[in-house]
C-alpha cells in the first residue's frame, strides 16, 4: 500500500494532509484549537511551504495512508513508533 505514496513530494504530502484534515475536521479540531488557533487558520497556515508540521499532520497522513510511522531522531537510538 505504501508504494502508492512513495513518489509523492513533500509539497504533495503537505497538500494531502491538509485536505485530509479538512475532510475530518470534527476529528482534528479539538487538537488544533486546544492551542488557541481557529481550525481554518491552522490549516491555512499549514498549507504554506515552510510551516513546520507536527503530530496532527503525521496522524492525518497515517490515517489517510493506512500506515504506521517510525520517526528517527538524533537524540534517541530507538525510533519513536506511531501506530494507528
Residues of the chain with pLDDT > 70, as a percent, come to 92
Contact between residue 59 and residue 80 where contact means Cβ atoms under 8 Å apart? no
- Give the up-direction half-sphere exposure of residue 75: CA atoms within 13 A in the CB hemisphere: 2
Cell numbers at residue 38, please? Answer: 481557529
The residue count for the chain: 84
- Full-model pTM: 0.81
- Give the up-direction half-sphere exposure of residue 15: CA atoms within 13 A in the CB hemisphere: 6
For 43-62, the pLDDT digits (tens) are: 999 999 889 998 899 999 99
Amino acid at each position: 500500500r505504501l508504494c502508492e505514496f512513495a513518489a509523492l513530494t513533500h509539497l504533495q504530502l503537505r497538500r494531502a494532509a491538509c485536505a485530509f484534515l479538512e475532510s475530518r475536521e470534527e476529528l482534528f479540531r479539538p487538537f488544533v484549537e486546544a492551542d488557541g488557533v481557529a481550525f481554518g487558520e491552522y490549516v491555512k497556515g499549514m498549507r504554506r511551504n515552510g510551516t513546520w508540521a507536527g503530530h496532527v499532520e503525521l496522524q492525518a497522513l497515517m490515517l489517510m495512508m493506512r500506515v504506521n510511522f517510525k520517526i528517527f531522531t538524533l537524540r534517541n537510538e530507538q525510533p519513536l513508533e506511531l501506530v494507528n
